């Protein structure tokens, strides 16, 4: 099993940033990937979508507070974008190369994950079988990211690293977790 902890950093901004900490851990055991995101800090300053009674696949989750990760096969241009809303909604997209050929990844019919929302923090945990898209022998590279929307409708972008002049989670050089 390969297990790593992480801490996300906001993309630099001249605007005031919310007082938050986003950290967690990611592990791969064979083709099972587990990622746990922990959001702490002044949560009353941000918009957290309320839990849905009917979580489902939805588009454009990144327009609101959303946990994301990008997964690529080492030495391949193809990658996947996973979007997880605190409301329980989700989506997975497959891309052929940098921002090209984006389409829903139909190998996943659901993506159940657990969200625990307390006054002082929010935890989101996902266990996913990657066997639907890659083999256990393939090395993967992961970028872990989060979009945060505050009460003033301002959006901040958080990632392990920011490699572009603008916030851009798709830059392959930012897929820095090797599993």
Angle 67-69-20 from CA coordinates, rounded to 5°: 40
Cross-strand pairs, 57: 90
- Residue 115 is predicted with a pLDDT of 96
Residue with tokens 């996973």, as numbered in its chain: 82
- Encode pLDDT of 77-99 as tens digits: 999 999 999 999 999 999 999 99
Radius of gyration of the chain (CA): 15
120 falls in which pLDDT band (50, 70, 90)? confident
Q: Domains in the chain: how many in total?
A: 1
User: pTM for the full model?
Assistant: 0.96
- Encode pLDDT of 35-81 as tens digits: 999 999 989 999 999 999 999 999 999 999 999 999 999 999 999 99
Nearest Cα residue to 162 out of 140, 139, 138, 146: 146
- For CA atoms 56, 60, 66, 72, the dihedral sign is positive
Nearest Cα residue to 40 out of 119, 114, 152, 113: 119
- How far apart (Å, rounded) are the C-alpha atoms in residues 113 and 35? 10
Nearest Cα residue to 157 out of 14, 2, 10: 10
Angle 169-13-173 from CA coordinates, rounded to 5°: 25
CB-CB neighbours of 151 under 10 Å = 10
Range of the domain at 30: 2-178
Residue 82's domain is classified under what CATH number? 2.60.40.1190
- Encode pLDDT of 121-147 as tens digits: 999 999 999 999 999 999 999 999 999
């Amino acid at each position: 099993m390969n297990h790593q902890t992480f801490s996300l950093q906001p993309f630099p901004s001249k605007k005031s940033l919310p007082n938050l900490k986003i950290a967690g851990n990611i592990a791969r055991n064979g083709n099972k990937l587990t990622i746990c995101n922990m959001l702490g800090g002044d949560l009353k300053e941000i918009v957290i979508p309320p839990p849905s009674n009917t979580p489902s696949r939805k588009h454009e989750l990144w327009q609101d507070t959303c946990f994301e990760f990008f997964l690529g096969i080492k030495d391949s241009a193809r990658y996947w974008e996973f979007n997880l809303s605190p409301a329980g909604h989700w989506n997975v997209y497959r891309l052929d190369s940098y921002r090209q050929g984006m389409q829903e990844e139909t190998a996943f019919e659901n993506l159940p994950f657990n969200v625990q929302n307390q006054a002082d923090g929010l935890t989101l945990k996902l266990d996913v079988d990657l066997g639907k898209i890659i083999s256990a022998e393939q090395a993967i590279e992961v970028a872990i990211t989060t979009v945060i929307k505050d009460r003033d409708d301002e959006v901040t972008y958080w990632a392990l690293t920011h490699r572009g002049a603008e916030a851009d989670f798709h830059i392959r050089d930012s897929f820095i977790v090797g599993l």
